[in-house]
Amino acid sequence: MGKKVNVLGRGSRRARCGAALLVSCGLALAGWCAPAYDVAVLNSPTTLGQRYTKYFVDVADWLSLSCRVITEADLSDMWTVDDICKEAELLIIPCNDTIARYPAELIRSFAERGGRLLVANRLPKGIEVSLGVRQTGTFVQHDPLDPDFAGLLPVAGKLPPATRYAPVARWAGEYEVPIAVPSGEGEVLAYWAGECGAKRAEPAVVETPRGLFVSGLWFRGGNPMQMDFMEGLFRKALPGRTFVRKQAKPWTMRHAPPPNEHRGVWSHARGFAGSGKNWDETCAFLKSRGMTDLYVLSAFGGGAFYASQVIPQTPHVAKYGDLLKQAVEGAHKHGLRCHAWKVNWRMDMYATSNQLAQARAAGKLQRSLNGHKFDWYCPTDPENQEREIAVMEELAKTGVDGVMFDFIRYNGQFMCFCDGCRQRFIERMGNVPVEWPKDVLQGQRLHEEWVNFRADALSTVVREGARRARLAKPGILVSACGQMLSLFVDGGRATGVHYEKCAQATPRWLREGWVDYICSMDYPEQTFDKLRETASRQDSVARGRVYPGIGMAAWIRPEGDTEKFKELLDAVRAAGCKGWCLYVLDDDRVEYHLPPIDSLCPQNVK
């Protein structure tokens, strides 16, 4: 059988039915009808669900399985249970919140006819009966640094070749994860675990005669324990099958590094803590790989991981101590520069319910055009601006070598339309009559003034935050994370579409000297040619002062992280950039796939 991936279109029924008829007729003569594909993945309409769909497709391809993506529309409009059985031996439901009644009935019939199911991350109504499991509860991962739900621990011998604890992605996000047990015959194959593999009581993977249920699968690829875990799942889902792991094609470096290349890495506040390493050990590892700069997550809008006197400290400080201080000490011991990475505005993580309630009541949070409340501080509010500026000043006094602005933007063009923004904009316009919000919308008479008003609010924080940080520590480095398109300039400013959406005036920040450099978030550029072209355009804005971000955390292929890193690093060097930043240091990828950087140099570059 050819190993291929195919995405069904709604208009392809005639071709599929004709092919299925020919196959079924031919095989019926032999008394047997094999499915056309090994795996079918039921696509989800949500962004998160589509991400998981792609992940499972990539895993199937990595294991040399043929795979097809289907939709509920395919099931509802075109298929009977006989069609499903002819299409695939295994049906994966990767992250589907709900499934309509008729497709759910077809899936149940598929399972009753011997088809295998693999259900992950959600347990849609009707599917639990099809699979033979019963939901017993849920948990929510509010905190990416939560040490209690940090990985999956296989039961010995139940998920070969997986034998070890497999850590999950630590920025998993906030959603309910279902916990389930077999409703009849079945067994638990893996349990949830805390940091470093401390077993919990909640089942993570259960098997029934009809397939597997995985309560939460926050893998991105790359980690060898996760790779073993995924192969183990597929071995259980398709018993008796031989799996062949595809290998990444080796990448030969073609471009030499520039002198004094900036080699940065972003890190959550605890470094490699999930694998048992403290900051001293984490920084020793980074130095051994040739890294030069460490960017440590230090604070969000509503909580600090250090001994802040400006914003409340998160519970992590009481539990683990001043995490920024520990990172600075570890970095300096091993000859690394340490930067305080500040997430601006965001109150949707690490702020207490009381903080949020007070901020909402005081009108300090953003509001969308349609009135939806958004848990980010409003950037045009003077008190909010002063808080962000004061934090940057405070961070400069902690012993760090640099401070970094992150999320120094709006989350789209329809933020913020709160009462404060309306009043402050009208005052800026000289109290002329304004039809709100119509006059400021795209194509209307005050739209350009409105876009500049939003951008100036962000620029005020960058300008004053940088000024006060440098007064607090002369010579400190000031940087900012810039979205990819913010550095595509037109007439000296960001291109219109991006500027209108996020209001990041990064070319101006560089031109005025408010920031020393920009780390551009070029994560979607996943090939040598694309990243080289993008980085070249960005670097032309301010030569040597744009450090592209290499987004290892965004990769979902189960193999090839080391080779992909080499490819994209080669692209950054080919573009002429003087440095780069790796996103993100965590205990599930970088530890295994970051090669010694000094070895990544072509042999024959003159």
| 336 is a domain residue | yes
Cα-to-chain-centroid distance, residue 192: 21
Q: What are phi and psi of 56, to 5 degrees?
A: -65, -35
> Is the pLDDT assigned to residue 368 strictly greater than 80?
yes
Domain extent at residue 226: 5-237
CB 105 within 8 A of CB 150: no
- Examine the domain organization and report whether 100 and 215 are in the same domain: yes
> Residue 605: its pLDDT value, please?
52
Q: Give mean pLDDT, residues 196-208.
A: 95
Residue 444 has pLDDT above 70, yes or no: yes
Within-domain flag for 243: no
Q: Are residues 449 and 308 in the same domain?
A: yes
Same structural domain for residues 439 and 538?
A: yes
Q: Are residues 224 and 270 in the same domain?
A: no
Q: Are residues 291 and 233 in the same domain?
A: no
Task: Fill in the amino acid letter for 168.
Answer: V
The answer to whether position 246 is within a domain reads: no
CATH of the domain at 183: 3.40.50.880
Is the Cβ–Cβ distance between 479 and 405 less than 8 Å?
yes
DSSP string, 230-282: HHHHHHHHSTT-------PPP----SPPPTT-EEEEEE-TTTTGGGT--HHHH
Domain membership of residue 248 (yes or no) is no
Q: From CA 550, how far away is CA 304, in angstroms rounded?
A: 26
Query: For residue 222, what pLDDT band results from cuts at 50, 70 and 90?
Result: confident
Confidence check: pLDDT of 15 > 60: no
Cα–Cα dist 267/262, whole Å: 16
Tens of pLDDT, residue by residue over 82-111, are: 888 889 999 999 999 999 999 999 999 999
The string over 351-373, giving b where at least 16 C-beta atoms fall within 10 Å of a residue's C-beta and e elsewhere, is: beeebbeebeeeebbbbeeeeee
Residue 474: other Cβ atoms inside 10 A: 8
Q: What is the structure's pLDDT at 173?
A: 58
Q: 470-502, pLDDT tens digit by residue? A: 999 999 999 999 999 999 877 555 666 788 889
| pLDDT (mean) for 545-565 | 92
Let me know whether 331 and 422 are in one domain. Answer: yes
Residue pLDDT, tens place only, 107-132: 999 999 999 999 999 999 999 999 99
Question: Which residue do the tokens 């040399």 mark?
Answer: 64
Do 309 and 162 lie in a common domain? Answer: no
Cβ atoms within 10 A of the Cβ of 182, count? 18
Tens digit of pLDDT for each residue in 306-328? 999 999 999 999 999 999 999 99
Question: Are residues 421 and 535 both part of a single domain?
Answer: yes
Give yes or no for a contact between 216 and 177, defined as CB atoms under 8 angstroms apart. Answer: yes
C-alpha 135/C-alpha 140 separation (Å) is: 15
Cβ count within 10 A of residue 137: 12
Count of domains for the chain: 2
**Do 146 and 292 belong to one domain?**
no
The candidate with the shortest Cα–Cα distance to 141, out of 194, 196, 198, is: 194
What ranges make up the beta strands (E) of 514-604? 517-521, 546-550, 579-585
Report yes or no on 108 lying in a domain.
yes
> Do the domain assignments include residue 244?
no
Least confident of 77-86, 152-161, 503-512, 574-583: 77-86
Same domain, 227 and 278: no
Report pTM.
0.91
Note whether residue 242 is domain-resident: no
513 lies in some domain: yes
Q: Note whether 339 and 387 are same-domain residues.
A: yes
What is the domain-level CATH number for residue 564? 3.20.20.80
For residue 196, is pLDDT > 90? no
Is the same domain home to 342 and 459? yes
